[in-house]
Amino acid sequence: MKLSEGQTTQAREVVVPGEKVADQGFKPGEGVYRDADGLYSSLLGVVERDEARSVVRVRALRGQYIPHPEDIIIGKVIEVGLTDWEVDINSPYMAKLDARDAGVEVDPITVDLRRYFDVGDYLAAKVVAFDRVTPPSLTVMGKGLGKIRGGIIVSVIPSRVPRIIGKKGSMISMLDKMLKVHLVVGQNGCVVVQGSDPDEVAFAVSIIRKIEAEAYTYGLTDRIKEILTKRYENQNGKDSTGVASQRRRCKE
């Protein structure tokens, strides 16, 4: 099944459950199963073929976030226990952050964990383990992990997060270099935008929304780069014009 033609951007290949996505020369990845004469999609999504590794996968157009070990997520503390925190990670599964995985040596009698993270706090954390039987285990011990201070949370469809990050981090690297804000991207569909200028924060949010809406179209990175380049070239042009005119007035 293909998206409607006549769009301004070319769409990636969208398939339905049971549709053939590759021959036997490929290995099945996420969202793909093997049958007698080839590989087939198990869900409604976009086909991704890794020619180098001979792997084909189908990324769901929509769907809830399912944790995987090593995922970096943004979570919200919803309950503080004696030895751990319960964390909402935008998933059907509530996660647990044990005090030991926060670097806290805890004595339940004398230590109140709310000193470290309280209900309502947002955390950047890493999924340590998950087996669909016990709650996902988190850690905040690592570079860039821990309590998030300031910023706004933007919720996106979790399956669109890989496009915000980009192949080998290409998109997020470009955004970090060109946007005048700091981004923290969680693979669970939560993006933190931190910045002191409300206009720049609002612009960054609009860019994230555009990436989310056009995630399955070709040439997206180039289009985003063009938008960013034009914005900041115009801003620099205005700034330089203003400085030049001020200098002329001073000379007069």
For 38-61, what is each residue's pLDDT tens digit?
999 998 888 888 888 888 988 887
Q: Is 36 exposed, middle or buried (0-12, 13-18, 19+ CB in 10 A)?
A: exposed
Stated pTM of the model: 0.76
Q: Do domains 14-60 and 152-227 have the same CATH topology?
A: no
Q: What is the pLDDT of residue 237?
A: 62
Predicted confidence (pLDDT) per residue in 115-151, tens digit: 999 999 999 999 999 988 899 999 999 999 999 999 9
CATH fold group of domain 14-60: OB fold (Dihydrolipoamide Acetyltransferase, E2P) (2.40.50)
CATH of domain 72-147: 2.40.50.140
Q: What is the pLDDT of residue 238?
A: 57
Has domain 152-227 been given CATH number 3.30.2130.10? no
Residue 246, pLDDT > 60, answer no
The domain spans of the chain are 14-60, 72-147, 152-227
**Interatomic CA distance for residues 18 and 167, integer angstroms:** 27
More confident residue, 2 or 72: 72
Mean pLDDT calculated for residue range 16-25:
89
